[in-house]
């Protein structure tokens, strides 16, 4: 039986009366303080803060369905500094800012003086004079940390090689939408132990989920992060299993998740492709999950590489609902940090 991890502030997701801590000054005063905070990795958030973000995103989603305008960020500007391409993250930030009454400005890293040697901290110092928050997508996570060293406004990790925290938060929202709660849910991640895997593992652990990861031995998630996730899971009543056997990971799962076998910025590696080939999510593998299990992918996906097209486009796939939820989670992050 899945128990809800949410509900502390009483949001209705069934279309009944909506009551939110945002509307309630007493509850708002008791809500966790994310204002002015950066989000560099999943480790920056407490369990209560993850709950508040998911619940706020659910509330914003309902408000959007009801076409309720919420200009909470009027007069605020978000800078978006991207070293790699993006369809979902960039546009969810952009649309999210605008729907909250603010503005977003895109800063392609190749268009800045970074290309002529201006340092990351100097760039952050300057941008902080113009904008109220910065979403940054870097290859190296250390670059994000160095950039953050010069920033005087909140910085949001829009993906690095090590973490993709807002993706994971948004995926928790999708799982909550799908199953009515998070605690006790079984999530199987099959494939490369990469940035998305790290963030999902940490986020799922903090939410008390049972997370099982199947990867080839040489592409397992970072062992330090696995240990940290195990500590978080122990506190929240969940568990973390790392295995090399996809069927073991998927057995009894509510959700099966995969990601590309070759992430952005990584060199072409035939050896890696070969090692990951048996970790493709197929209809046969899905049959080992629970009958009502869903298939998830952060996107973009390569059909018939990490997932069979029949699964990606089949009835169990919720990948496009998952992508749609990015908007609501990005808005929640922006609202609670910049609002």
Q: How far apart are CA 130 and CA 104, in angstroms?
A: 11
Q: How far apart are CA 50 and CA 262, in angstroms?
A: 29
Which residues are at the interface with ligand CP (CB under 6 A)? 86-89, 159, 167, 298-299
Find the binder of ligand NVA among 55, 259, 306, 308 (CB under 6 A).
259
Sheet strand arrangement including 133-137: 103-108, 77-82, 133-137, 155-157
Helix%, strand%, coil% for the chain, nearest 5: 45, 15, 40
Binding mask 150-169 for ligand NVA (x = CB under 6 A): ---------x----------
Q: Min. distance of Cβ 165 from ligand CP in angstroms?
A: 11
Binds 195: which of ligand CP, ligand NVA, none (CB < 5-8 Å by kind): ligand NVA
Structure-token pair, residue 312: 């990606």
Structure-token pair, residue 63: 């408000």
Q: Min. distance of Cβ 337 from ligand CP in angstroms?
A: 19
Q: Residue 73 interacts with ligand NVA (CB under 6 A)?
A: no
Q: Residue 195 interacts with ligand NVA (CB under 6 A)?
A: yes
Of 184 and 203, the one with the shorter C-beta distance to ligand NVA is 203
Helices and strands, number each (H, E), in the chain: 13, 9
Of 159 and 212, the one with the shorter C-beta distance to ligand NVA is 159
Query: Which range touches ligand NVA (CB under 6 A), out of 106-114, 144-152, 258-266, 307-315?
Result: 258-266
Of 49 and 259, the one with the shorter C-beta distance to ligand CP is 259
Tell me the number of residues near ligand NVA by CB under 6 A. Answer: 9
**What part of residues 286-315 is at the interface with ligand NVA (CB under 6 A)?**
298
Find the binder of ligand NVA among 12, 105, 239, 263 (CB under 6 A).
263
Q: Residue 9 in contact with residue 22, Cβ under 8 Å?
A: no
Binds 57: which of ligand CP, ligand NVA, none (CB < 5-8 Å by kind): none
Q: What are phi and psi of 215, to 5 degrees?
A: -140, 160
Burial class (CB in 10 A: 0-12, 13-18, 19+), 199: buried
Binds 87: which of ligand CP, ligand NVA, none (CB < 5-8 Å by kind): ligand CP
Structure-token pair, residue 92: 């969810």
Of 62 and 158, the one with the shorter C-beta distance to ligand NVA is 158
Separation of first and last alpha carbons in the chain: 36
Q: Residue 194 interacts with ligand NVA (CB under 6 A)?
A: yes
Structure-token pair, residue 47: 């369990």
Q: Residue 329 interacts with ligand NVA (CB under 6 A)?
A: no
Q: What are the DSSP calls for 101-159, one per residue?
A: T-EEEEEEGGGSGGGGT--HHHHHHHHHTT-SEEEEE-SSHHHHHHHHHH-SS-EEE--
**Cα of 84 vs its chain's centroid, Å:** 17
Of 59 and 257, the one with the shorter C-beta distance to ligand NVA is 257
Q: Min. distance of Cβ 298 from ligand CP in angstroms?
A: 4
Q: Residue 205 interacts with ligand NVA (CB under 6 A)?
A: no
Query: Which range touches ligand NVA (CB under 6 A), out of 46-54, 193-201, 207-215, 327-335?
Result: 193-201
Residues in the site for ligand NVA, rule: CB under 6 A?
159, 194-196, 259-260, 263-264, 298
């Amino acid at each position: 039986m899945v128990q809800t991890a949410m509900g502390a502030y009483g949001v209705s997701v069934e279309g009944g009366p909506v009551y939110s801590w945002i509307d309630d000054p007493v509850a708002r005063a008791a809500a966790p303080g994310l204002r002015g905070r950066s989000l560099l990795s999943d480790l920056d958030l407490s369990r209560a803060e993850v709950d508040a973000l998911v619940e706020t995103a659910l509330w914003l989603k309902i408000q959007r369905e009801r076409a309720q305008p919420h200009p909470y960020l009027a007069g605020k500007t978000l800078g978006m500094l991207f070293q790699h391409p993006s369809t979902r993250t960039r546009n969810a930030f952009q649309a999210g800012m605008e729907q909250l009454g603010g503005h977003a400005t895109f800063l392609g890293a190749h268009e800045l003086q970074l290309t002529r040697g201006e340092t990351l901290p100097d760039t952050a110092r300057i941008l902080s004079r113009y904008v109220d928050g910065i979403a940054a997508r870097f290859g190296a996570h250390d670059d994000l940390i160095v950039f953050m060293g010069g920033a005087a406004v909140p910085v949001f990790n829009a993906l690095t090689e090590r973490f993709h925290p807002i993706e994971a938060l948004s995926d928790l929202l999708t799982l909550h939408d799908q199953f009515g709660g998070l605690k006790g849910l079984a999530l199987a991640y099959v494939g490369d132990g990469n940035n998305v895997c790290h963030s999902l593992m940490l986020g799922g652990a903090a939410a008390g989920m049972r997370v099982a990861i199947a990867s080839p031995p040489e592409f397992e998630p970072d062992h330090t992060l696995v240990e940290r996730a195990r500590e978080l899971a122990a506190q929240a009543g969940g568990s973390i299993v790392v295995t090399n056997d996809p069927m073991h990971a998927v057995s009894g799962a509510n959700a099966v998740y995969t990601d590309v076998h070759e992430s952005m910025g990584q060199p072409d590696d035939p050896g890696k492709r070969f090692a990951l080939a048996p970790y493709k999510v197929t209809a046969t593998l899905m049959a080992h999950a629970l009958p009502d299990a869903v298939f998830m992918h952060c996107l973009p996906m390569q059909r018939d590489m990490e997932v069979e097209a029949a699964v990606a486009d089949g009835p169990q796939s919720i990948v496009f609902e998952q992508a749609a939820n990015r908007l609501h989670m990005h808005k929640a992050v922006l609202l609670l940090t910049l609002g």
